[in-house]
Amino acid sequence: MTTNFDRVIPNIPGKSLIAVEVTYAPGGTSTPHHHANSSFIYAYVVSGTIRSQVEGEPARDFHAGESWYELPGAHHLESKNMSTTEPAKLLAVFIVDTNDKELTTPDK
């Protein structure tokens, strides 16, 4: 995960906008994790096909050009590159409390 944008939102006190790139190697996955309790997330698939599942919802495959959102405190159960031969990339944009420094926390 690489941060490519991080700014305080001047007209929304206490909130920041943070954008991160997540690159998955062929067949790559993310471990199950929780997002910050304050974060609203917009995710956009830049390349490849990524399967995503948030607790309480079915898993879904998102292709390049497709997007989804996740509510504050979401428990992300599954996130993986569906290709075993090509990398995949997504852009995740967080609106989060400025003081929340941990955007994701792996499950224990």
CA distance 35 to 20: 13
Query: According to the model, what pLDDT value does residue 2 have?
Result: 84
The stretch 85-94 carries a mean pLDDT of 96
With a pLDDT cut of 90, the percent of the chain lying above it is: 81
Half-sphere exposure of 7 (CA within 13 A, CB side): 6
- Residue 83: pLDDT over 90: yes
pLDDT digits (tens, 9 = 90+) for 61-74: 999 999 999 999 88
pLDDT digits (tens, 9 = 90+) for 23-58: 999 999 999 998 888 999 999 999 999 999 999 999
Angle CA(73)–CA(65)–CA(55) in degrees, nearest 5?
Answer: 25
Q: Which fold has domain 20-91?
A: Jelly Rolls (2.60.120)
